[in-house]
Structure formats: structure tokens, C-alpha cells
Homo-oligomer: A and B are copies of this chain.
Amino acid sequence: MKRSNRLVVLTEYFIENPRKHIQLPFFVDLCETTKSSVSEDLDIIDNVFQTQGLGYLERTTGAGGGVKYIPEITDVKSLQFVNELREKLEDPNRILPGGYLYMTDILGNPTIVREIGRIFASRFSKLDIDVVVTVATKGIPLAYAVASFLGVPVVIVRRDPKVTEGSSVSINYVSGSSRKIQTMVLPKRSFDEGSNVCIIDDFMKAGGTINGMINLLSEFDAKVQAIGVLVEAEDEEDERVVTDYTSLIKIANLDMTQKDIQIEPGNFLKDN
């Protein structure tokens, strides 16, 4: 295969298989070429990925050595994306009763969802996450987007047990905003004990739901390494039960009667 063709094949493979460790002989076979040619191809791809702010190729030498594509996004590009999202959300027609924001259209757009996933995965890139956990329903697409860039599976916490999931572990928790007692369920075979977990959700007010997830995960001896929320509500510092999290967007002010809403970037650039 000629270099020009190899570059297309390899680039496609990396984009579709982030964080997958690949030994060079695999590419040598795939492209019917030599090891030194593949090595030169990887230099080119690594260079373009870095210049374009798409991440980089991590290469290891020696027996079992190979290459892995680590997707990342630059702070400048993240902020630009978040600002575009902010403008979309800062529409008074989005205000719903109870201080919620209508975001269903935004969460229904796979391109936007994938970009959100890229930003969180980029922030949590160094944390050695084994699994992404979310709670049904709205966090699910975001969780898959993050997981696909981290190259790990998704586990979904449910509000109700389902026959299609076998035996399960459940806890009761108090919802921060409504003060109601609710239930959360996770199938027993969800994941290995001691897994490193990243929690993803779409919206956080007081944090009761996320706190419930943390408690449920402790039943599996899981280690919560990161918490990512797309939108955090107005400051509720006295009430907030979760403090260590990464948010992309923050509702700075939401006045239902005046139909006024102000949105600012979350804390995602402050953390690391």
C-alpha cells in the first residue's frame, strides 16, 4: 500500500479506536508494508494530531511495545465550544418550572454530545478510568461519548430494577432538590470490585443524585476518580452535598418571573 493510502487507513483506525494499544506488526499486516514505513507514518499522524489539537500518539518501545491514540482537545477549542453552547442555552424560552433548563434538543444532537464527551475525556485523560457510570436517562448519551474517548465501558444506574438485568444491589437516597426518598439500582454483574470510576451526568443542583451514586458505588468498592456534569445550577453552596466535580456550564442566574437567564462557563478550565 502506498503512503497516501496508508495514512487514510491508519488515521481512520486511530479515530475509531481511541486508547487501544496496537502493536506495530498489526499495522504492518493491515497496510502490507514494512515496520519502518509504519513508523514514519505514525510520525506524520502524531504531528498532525498535535498541530490540529486532536491529541497525540503515545508510543512505547521494546517487546510488546506499540502505539495508542490519546484523544485530547485544547483549552482554546474547549472554551470556544462551551461559549457556543452557552449562547444556545441563554434563551429565555428554555426556562422551565423549578429552575430547570430545556436541553433536550442539545442532548439529542450526537455531534454536540460527542464534543462534550471529548472535553470530559480530555480533562480525565490521566486518571486511569476503568468505567463510566451514569444514571438513567439524560446522562446516558454523555456517558457513552466520554467512554468512547476513554476506551472503557458504560454502566447505567437505574431508578427501578428490570427483569432483564438479573439480581441487583439497591440503595435509598434523599434527592437534594425535592427532598424525596428515591431508589437507585445497579445489577450485581455490573463491574469488578475496586474499579476506578468516572461519574457523568447532565445536570446537578444540590448534588443528591450524584451523592446517591457515590453511595451505591461504595457497595461495589468502586473508587470514584472523577465527576463530570454538563450543567451546574445556580450556587447552592449551603445545600450542595458534592463539591469535587468538573462542570462545563454554570447557570449564574435564573429569574423565572423576569424570564432572565445568565450562563457562564463551568469550572472545567480551573481544575488542572
Nearest residue (CB) in B for A141 is B144
Residues of B within 8 A of A11 (CB): 7-8, 11-12, 15
Count A interface residues, CB 8 Å. 56
Tell which of B12, B144, B155 touches A52, judged by Cβ atoms closer than 8 Å: B12
Residues of B within 8 A of A96 (CB): 163-166
Which residues in window 142-168 of A have CB below 8 A to B? Answer: 144, 147-148, 151, 153-156, 158, 163-166
Q: Chain A 16-31 against B: per-residue CB contact (8 Å), 1 yes, 0 no?
A: 1100000000000000
A137 with B156, Cβ < 8 A, contacts A12-B11, A47-B5 known: yes
Tell which of B9, B16, B44 touches A5, judged by Cβ atoms closer than 8 Å: B44
Can you give 11 contacting A-B residue pairs, CB < 8 Å? A3-B4, A5-B51, A11-B15, A12-B52, A102-B165, A102-B166, A110-B144, A110-B154, A137-B137, A137-B156, A141-B144
Q: What 3 A-B pairs come out closest when comparing CB atoms?
A: A110-B148, A8-B48, A11-B11
